[in-house]
Amino acid sequence: MARPLALFGGTFDPVHLGHLRAVWEAAEALQAEVKLMPVALPPHRPPPVASARQRLAMLRAVLTGQDRLGLDTRELDREGPSWSVDSLLEVRREIGSRRPLVLLLGRDAFAGLPTWHRWRQLFELAHLGVLTRPGVPIRVSEELEIEVAARRRDTVSALLEQAAGGVLTIPITALDISATHIRALLRAGQEPRFLLPDTLLVDPRLLEVYRHRGDGC
């Protein structure tokens, strides 16, 4: 079977060590090619503080020098709201029907899945990999539980027997890092060392936008 492809979306405003460590561990667990997919216009939250160009520059800077994590810019290149289902439809057309595709989600994003655009169609296109702290239960609505009950898988091998349609919990190291907090530190003139990749701290131009702008999400 082809090596799985996993996608992890977000504003990455800015990208921080919590994002990177989570997807790194997911890549190892799934033995997958993992791509970070920055959102252009998030439908369920305020627009990012940094522009698409600025966020893309940060991501490219921190992903340089390793070959486990890549970048998918399709949502930045597409006009209109960044619906995940549209992105998965495009990716599925590109990779074919047989290669396993995994959409990586944080625990809170997974719990809010019924608010997403055409959310049930996601299961036709991809598996869901739910990134969570070991031993921490995920509380979901009855509607979501009914949808995923028969889709839950206990192991990576069981998940990847098919190309899409399963749900797997992936335990990750708990790094409680907030992009909102990082932006607040930068606005206050403080240095968010050990919260961000050193690459972003070495080049002050990459973070300059946060020192002069109001907060977003």
Q: What is the domain partition of the chain in residue ranges? A: 5-176
Position 43 scores a pLDDT of 80
In angstroms, rounded to a whole number, what is the distance separating the alpha carbons of residues 4 and 98?
A: 10
Pairing of strands 101-106, 69-71: unpaired
CA–CA gap between residue 92 and residue 179 (Å, rounded): 30
Question: Rounded to whole angstroms, how far apart are CA atoms 55 and 144?
Answer: 32
Cα separation, 1 vs 197, whole angstroms: 34
SS3 74: helix
What is the pairing mode between strands 33-38 and 5-10?
parallel
> Cα(128)–Cα(45) distance, rounded to whole angstroms?
21
Amino acid symbol at 60: R
Separation of alpha carbons 82 and 37, rounded Å: 10
pLDDT tens, N- to C-terminus, the chain (217 residues): 689 999 999 999 999 999 999 999 999 999 999 999 999 988 878 889 999 999 999 999 999 999 899 999 999 999 888 899 999 999 999 999 999 999 999 999 999 999 999 999 999 999 999 999 876 778 899 999 999 999 999 999 999 999 999 999 999 998 889 999 999 999 999 999 999 999 999 998 999 999 975 544 3
Q: Which of 209, 136, 179, 158 is nearest to 38 (CA)?
A: 179
Which tokens sit at 74? 């399709």
5-176: CATH topology = Rossmann fold (3.40.50)
Is the overall model pTM greater than 0.85, yes or no?
A: yes
User: Nearest 5 degrees, angle CA 107-CA 78-CA 11?
Assistant: 35
- C-alpha distances (whole Å) from 182 to each of 36, 44, 167 are 20, 21, 31
Alpha helices in 6-83 (DSSP H): 17-30, 52-63, 74-77
